[in-house]
Amino acid sequence: MENNAFSKLRKELLDLANLSQLSSLLEWDQNVNVPSGGHRARADVMAYVAHLRHEKFVAKKFENLLRTAVESAENGKLENDESFIALKTLSDFKKAKKLPTEFVGESARLYGESYQVWVEARAKSDFLLFEPYLTRIVQAKKQEAEYLGYIKSPYDALMDNFEPGLTTEFASKIFDQLKAFMVPFVERIGSSRVKIDRGFLYEKYPIKKQSQFVRVVAEKIGFDFHKGRLDVSTHPFCQSLHSTDVRLTTRFDEKDFINQALLSVIHEVGHGLYDQGLPEEYFGTPLGESISLGIHESQSRLWENQVGRSWSFWVYFYEDLKKSFPSQLEGVSLSKFYRAINFVKPGLIRVDADEATYNLHVILRFEIERDLIEGNIEVAELPDVWSRKIKEYLDLIVPNDARGVLQDIHWSKGLFGYFPTYIVGNLYAAQFFDTARKQIRRIDSKISNGQFSELKEWLKNNIHVHGRRYSSEELLFKATGNKSTPVYFMDYIKAKYSEIYNL
Amino acid sequence: MENNAFSKLRKELLDLANLSQLSSLLEWDQNVNVPSGGHRARADVMAYVAHLRHEKFVAKKFENLLRTAVESAENGKLENDESFIALKTLSDFKKAKKLPTEFVGESARLYGESYQVWVEARAKSDFLLFEPYLTRIVQAKKQEAEYLGYIKSPYDALMDNFEPGLTTEFASKIFDQLKAFMVPFVERIGSSRVKIDRGFLYEKYPIKKQSQFVRVVAEKIGFDFHKGRLDVSTHPFCQSLHSTDVRLTTRFDEKDFINQALLSVIHEVGHGLYDQGLPEEYFGTPLGESISLGIHESQSRLWENQVGRSWSFWVYFYEDLKKSFPSQLEGVSLSKFYRAINFVKPGLIRVDADEATYNLHVILRFEIERDLIEGNIEVAELPDVWSRKIKEYLDLIVPNDARGVLQDIHWSKGLFGYFPTYIVGNLYAAQFFDTARKQIRRIDSKISNGQFSELKEWLKNNIHVHGRRYSSEELLFKATGNKSTPVYFMDYIKAKYSEIYNL
């Protein structure tokens, strides 16, 4: 029989999870369905639900239930999983209590205003408009770090919000290692004589056929449409309400099928498989939740890049693609197609970047965030710092703020410490996939035959089913037998692009 | 400056309205989007939100705020509208408090189980399966009536849940009057020599074109797509989240465009215009809510029947319809089309009934509900009573329970007192439309020219903007200068069908 103190805690956790589920539905619906006139009412109800959840979580009633359950755990009265849930929840609770309610409220208001200003500043390509707001945001984030506490760098506390356990010291070290390899490697690609034609990717691909094709691919690689959906929104995302109701979105651009829709759906399916793979019986507890943004991103990147941009994948799907789009792909061989979807060229915009240059965009942001939070640079210097780094890493000139320092939404929303999860996602993906390749016999030939289930199961059994039982680092070690390292990613990039660009 | 006690009440009412809005979104999404595997999780979160709202509404905290605001109202410290809101909320509150929480919980469980049994019983066409559940439901509804209180008939208390103020005595009187006219009139139609051909309505109408056409009609008659949507679901409905976010659904049947989709969309638009016309500034208060199901239904029926099945309406739209479906309507004249969509024939199924026979189906249900709740008949007698009344009112033989007493979902969900609102909706619609015809100059010719805005505004100004300021009866008198009476409806039916059937 379940321990009484734990049952009560579990009941409260379910209520909290129901409120989170409501927030997820409201947000999904906001992006997919809300009519133009309905956004004000929607913002009100979203704020209300977020407030309700926070209030409930930090309430004395919840704290008492939690402390009683933790006591039972400490007295050995709980099962292992129950004990884990109680203790992990206590650590979440302690973290949530560190931020004073007024501070959370004021910060939310600041980010709300700043977002509006950022939209305008970006439209006008004028960093000076945004600068005073960003200055206040950096101030607030420094304050937040002080509230949260840290050992070495205040930036540790901010990264911990998204990738628990990742330190500034460790990230700086591996990102430097990555940069030292990537910058010259991208230069070598740039001077390769191999010319890649990709005009055919930008032919007109009718949207109805695009939509049919991406659904077939999503289902084939394992997304369960009985427990999920695929809709259209401005920016693609994956929103999970519950492991039985996982919602992906994409966009369709008639003149850019492969990048805008197809690979983006494969990316979101990666997120979706993680959410569908979380253990349903633990819904609402730390054992039913994903570990971190980095681990989540590793799943999407693995399916998008290691699988979706691989030769084997297209050995299987290319024939169907040609059948669906015969005139667009007339005379385009598989190898021509494969090279086109793996074209590398430094650009100014992060979200348009290819696999090889993407991390450099993020390293730049990481370095700026770290240096701002540690007080080594000032907000006013950002346009210069940005230009200098873009020149150094990608050998490009930044023409204006809109295509430079103002391009991303993150800072305006107070998201500091979020960017690095994109890189660790890429590194984890390469490390997981390398292990999966070793453990799944003849994986390439299976993929070439459209057999994705073993890979899906490997990811589920090694990653998804564990919820938050392990830290990212522990999980990685358990699944791959190695600590996290950029070596797998560098080897993967080197092998793949040396072959494509004949280096 | 707003009174402090009132401000606090207003704030709480907004929170309650946010919770209602969440329930509406969850329900809409359940019918439109939830993947098959996600229904269990959805049921949990819906129950949670309903519980949360009830808990908040009957809490001591809310009661104290409410009583303080009511005191301010009684001491003349509130504006008129504020005072109205406080007093109306108090009466809602008192009503909600009449039902013991355990009773509400037990009833909800009973209806939940009964619904499942009803589904099975209907599938097997076996009333005996459902009988014990219906017996318990009738018992529970009698108990509910006792809790709620009534003057003459316990059934008054149940109708009051849906159509406040409607009494059994009054309904019996006007429904008898209606029946006395309708039964012989439908018989006369049946013996008319006029033959109506409507085979062309059941040709194949491609769904994409259906969808385009219904959107054009919805927009043309005044539905604001900036503050609403139209989606697909199994059964058409209108769900309002807020006056700026009103969601209609329909279904599409390739072989039955006009009845299944087009007229049903016009019906839902009628509901939607009411919801979009409620005063936004009073969101969450009784002044921002609709009066009753009967008044709501009057809006949908008016647009569907008085407008959507009228000659003038099709003078305007028929040419476009023929352009969209040229082969299906080849050789079909406007008058042939008009007669086809106004074809009358008694049938066994309420939801398939035409305008002339529809009310007889509902009168039958009203009489059964009344007699059950007043204890004049027993549940076991229902199949016999049903057959006898169907023979008497529509001269038909009931072949089995599925096409008889088991056809509607309502009783299994505990909805007693709901059916009569369908009739009063029809009666109100005729009465409102008769007045609008007198007050809007040359309304027929305007409709024939596609000018719907004056009618829409008339309904908005005379009905929608008032929220729950007046009772149904008061509103009717204010808008039409007359008490509610079936005379308008009977005159309308008589004139229209005497002409069509050459009586």
Could you tell me which residues are beta bridge partners of residue B248?
B230, B238
Pairing of strands A245-250, B238-242: unpaired
Contact assignment for A225 to B35 by CB distance below 8 Å: yes
Residue A200: CB atoms within 10 A of its CB come to 17
Contact assignment for B49 to A227 by CB distance below 8 Å: no
CA B42 to chain centre: 25
CA A442 to chain centre: 29
- Residue window 28-57, chain A: list those with CB within 8 Å of chain B: 29, 33-38, 40-42, 44-45, 48-49
Contact assignment for B25 to A21 by CB distance below 8 Å: no
Contact assignment for B229 to A35 by CB distance below 8 Å: yes
State phi, psi for A228 to the nearest 5 degrees: 180, 175
Residue located via tokens 């919840």: A62
Q: B91-119, pLDDT tens digit by residue? A: 999 999 999 988 988 998 899 899 989 99
Mapped to the 3 state alphabet, what secondary structure does B436-470 carry?
HHHHCCCHHHHHHCCCCHHHHHHHHHHCHHHCCCC
Residue located via tokens 């004589």: A193
Query: B23 to chain A: nearest residue by CA?
Result: A22
> Closest approach of chain A CAs to the CA of B36, in angstroms?
5
CA dihedral A462, A464, A468, A473 (to 10 degrees): 40
Q: Which of A26, A33, A227 is the closest to B229 by Cβ?
A: A33
| Residue A321: per-residue pLDDT | 98
Q: Which two tokens mark B9?
A: 């009440």
CA distance linking residue B122 with residue B400, whole number of Å: 10
- The reply to whether A112 falls in a domain is yes
CATH number at residue A144: 1.20.58
Domain count across chain B? 1
Contact assignment for B33 to A227 by CB distance below 8 Å: no
- The reply to whether A422 falls in a domain is no
- The reply to whether A147 falls in a domain is yes
Of the candidates A12, A268, A304, A355, the residue annotated as catalytic is: A268
Could you tell me which residues are beta bridge partners of residue B228?
B246
List the B245-250 sheet strands across, edge first: B228-232, B245-250, B238-242
Cα angle B108, B112, B115; round to 5: 135
Q: B200-247, pLDDT tens digit by residue? A: 999 999 999 999 999 999 999 999 999 999 999 999 999 999 999 999
> Closest approach of chain A CAs to the CA of B250, in angstroms?
16
CA distance linking residue B430 with residue A494, whole number of Å: 77
> Could you give the count of Cα atoms lying within 13 Å of B98 in the half-sphere of its Cβ?
16
> Closest approach of chain A CAs to the CA of B116, in angstroms?
22
Query: A11 to chain B: nearest residue by CA?
Result: B48
Please say if the pLDDT value at position B2 is more than 90. no
Determine contact, residues A72/A9, Cβ cutoff 8 Å: no
Query: B228 to chain A: nearest residue by CA?
Result: A35
- The reply to whether B39 falls in a domain is yes
Distances (CA, A) of A186 to A306, A459, A490, B376: 19, 30, 12, 88
Residue closest to A312 by CA, chosen among A123, A189, A498, A442: A442
Q: Which residues of chain A have pLDDT under 50?
A: none
CB of A242 within 8 Å of a chain B CB? The answer is yes
Q: Where are the alpha helices (DSSP H) in A325-419?
A: 334-340, 358-373, 382-394
Q: Which of B15, B21, B37 is the closest to A244 by Cβ?
A: B37
Determine contact, residues A286/A156, Cβ cutoff 8 Å: no
- State the helix-helix crossing angle for B80-98 and B127-148, rounded to 10 degrees: 130
| Count of A-B CB contacts under 8 Å | 83
Could you tell me which residues are beta bridge partners of residue A247?
A229, A239
Determine contact, residues A298/A428, Cβ cutoff 8 Å: yes
State phi, psi for B346 to the nearest 5 degrees: -60, 140
Could you tell me which residues are beta bridge partners of residue A349?
none
- The reply to whether A204 falls in a domain is no
Phi-psi map region of A66: left, alpha, beta (phi>0 left; psi -120 to 50 alpha): alpha
| Residue A2: per-residue pLDDT | 66
- The reply to whether A48 falls in a domain is yes
CB of A27 within 8 Å of a chain B CB? The answer is no
Catalytic, A319? Answer no
CA distance linking residue A239 with residue A272, whole number of Å: 8
- The reply to whether B164 falls in a domain is no
- Residue window 177-206, chain B: list those with CB within 8 Å of chain A: none
Determine contact, residues A476/A428, Cβ cutoff 8 Å: yes
Residue closest to A62 by CA, chosen among A12, A101, A7, A19: A12
Q: Which two tokens mark A8?
A: 């009560």
Residue closest to A167 by CA, chosen among A157, A177, A178, A180: A157
- State the helix-helix crossing angle for A472-480 and A420-439, rounded to 10 degrees: 20
Q: Which two tokens mark A234?
A: 């401005």
> Closest approach of chain B CAs to the CA of A396, in angstroms?
43
CA distance linking residue B451 with residue B265, whole number of Å: 18
Q: Which of A35, A45, A241 is the closest to B225 by Cβ?
A: A35
Of the candidates B131, B268, B289, B355, the residue annotated as catalytic is: B268
Contact assignment for A35 to B241 by CB distance below 8 Å: no
Contact assignment for A29 to B25 by CB distance below 8 Å: yes
Amino acid identity at A302: L
> Closest approach of chain B CAs to the CA of A303, in angstroms?
23
Contact assignment for A226 to B37 by CB distance below 8 Å: yes
- The reply to whether A284 falls in a domain is no
Best interface-test mutation with B: which of A34, A207, A233, A248 has the largest number of B CBs within 10 A?
A: A34
Q: Which of A18, A227, A283 is the closest to B37 by Cβ?
A: A227
Percentage of chain B lying above the pLDDT 70 cut: 100
**Could you tell me the residue range of the domain that residue B90 belongs to?**
4-152
Phi-psi map region of B467: left, alpha, beta (phi>0 left; psi -120 to 50 alpha): left
Q: List chain B residues with CB under 8 Å of A26.
A: 22, 25
Amino acid identity at A493: I
Best interface-test mutation with B: which of A15, A16, A18, A208 has the largest number of B CBs within 10 A?
A: A18
Q: List chain A residues with CB under 8 Å of B227.
A: 35, 37-38
Three-state DSSP class for residue A144 = helix
Q: Interface pTM (ipTM) of the complex?
A: 0.91
Contact assignment for A226 to B36 by CB distance below 8 Å: yes
Query: B18 to chain A: nearest residue by CA?
Result: A45
Q: List chain B residues with CB under 8 Å of A242.
A: 38, 41
| Residue A488: per-residue pLDDT | 98
Residue A283: CB atoms within 10 A of its CB come to 21
| Residue B105: per-residue pLDDT | 86
Residue B375: CB atoms within 10 A of its CB come to 10
Q: What is the mean pLDDT of chain B?
A: 96
> Closest approach of chain A CAs to the CA of B287, in angstroms?
17
CA distance linking residue B106 with residue A301, whole number of Å: 50
CA distance linking residue A23 with residue A475, whole number of Å: 28
> Closest approach of chain B CAs to the CA of A249, in angstroms?
13
Distances (CA, A) of A87 to A240, A338, B67, B167, B285: 25, 49, 43, 59, 43
Residue located via tokens 């660009």: A501
